[in-house]
Structure 1
């Protein structure tokens, strides 16, 4: 009960000018009370040739009323303030991140509940009351509180963006319709939404059906395929086996390569040894032939006929089968068997592709 009474008292002690709790309250002759500074500033700005009005009831006063502090009202306000401190509203009444703030609250801002498209301001429950109670605000248009109020106002004409231009696909105000958008296809925002409502609902159902279909397909995939961990283990095992196989293949190729190199070296060494033997044999035979030729030269100039006939018979005799042998020289050494072996290894590797 105490909390309810404090709430009512607070609403009754709001200054109609600043819409906040009365400060240094004064009461003018018609009975209405205001903050001392608020009513002073109001009358200074009005300056109606010596005629002073009440901002609420519009009653006029001449001359300007003498303002005195309402002591009783000030004491009541002190009690209201103390009661508010003791029964402060919970934190959820104050604006938090993402909430629209009341533009009238001083200090810590309360959460706005409505925004006025005429005032271009947002109000909490307390500061919104004049829009419901005073005829001055009767034609003002209230919407749910928004922290992006300026986005709903035309930057050129400062009017509400309540028309949709189908041609330019953008929101415009009524002044824009009479100006640069006068030849465009336009519709009120409400009517445009009504036109699109059924289409949006149909698309929503289609999306829901597609979502359900994809979820069912995903479930089928989960049941048909092994788990991701199992797939990873299987792939890792296959990779390790493949690496082992190719490693063994590389080692085998390297062994065969070494064998082929040894074979070529052995064949080269044998060919060189044979060539050197033939060369030595040929040199020996040449030396023997030169010796015989020299002896033949000597007996040709000898005067001893008996000696000539004896030497001639010995030197002119044809060499025996073991004296001179035929030397066959091959211009190229054959490594064809090595080439055949290398070609077979190449073919085996290509068959693995």
Structure 2
């Protein structure tokens, strides 16, 4: 029997955290796979509540799942690496070309911030095997390596100027930025990373508060709908006991309730949409902050940090309040009062008129107290 072949895309075997091919792959209970170090790193950074989540789908697990190496995925990774080495694809439109390929340029898989060059799988091997090159900083293949070179001094940008909030090279500290408050980019990155965690913490707290408001509003709306339906049903029961001459009033009360219900629900739905938009914006910002926190490139991180973290905060919804008691009890009470008032008037009229009839022809009536109690219950 011929051996079955399976086509696997490289992206399918990439870690959602580091975006590189899986290393020591493990699969969490929801089915998503990660590098062992990446998923442990994510879970180690989470709070100590004992609840752990998948970085991709956000499904939560309690207690912390035991991670074991996925041998099936590991075998597929080995096969994929062999296939890529045997038939490396040339760089296409939008791909980063390998700087060391001669003739046909292959697609680069990594860029070195130390060498300021990009490498395909074959030419990347020295960085993985030569001890002197293993300390070089490798990132995802990028076309923007030139942006990491100072345009004035043609030196690697590796210093951050806190005075001017800009990334500079070491020669800049001797000229344009002389006397400024400067630190190594990696040191500033670590500080900003702590600030980023605080921002994320506040954002996640806001997100939880907004989601709680959303759930609370949904519960109130459901209770309000039930109350409105109960008011309509009670009105129907009461009005069906009345004579056909008040049929028009019954319809008017029903329309009044429905109109008020529609008005209140429309306002509640507008509030619901506003909360959903704000929650969506908070989630989007949280995703952007997550992506920024996972950026391995210190310079790119610092260049993006200012615009992302100093941008305007989402619209504050603290002024939004959710009314927890929406009902038609007042309408119901008014209708009951109207019913008894009309019924008493009707009984009084009937008793007065029945009294004029001969005793032998008087008709019996059900006890009024019993009738009232049956309507109430």
The TM-score with structure 1 as length reference comes to: 0.35
Relative contact order, CA 8 A, sep 6+: which one is greater? 2
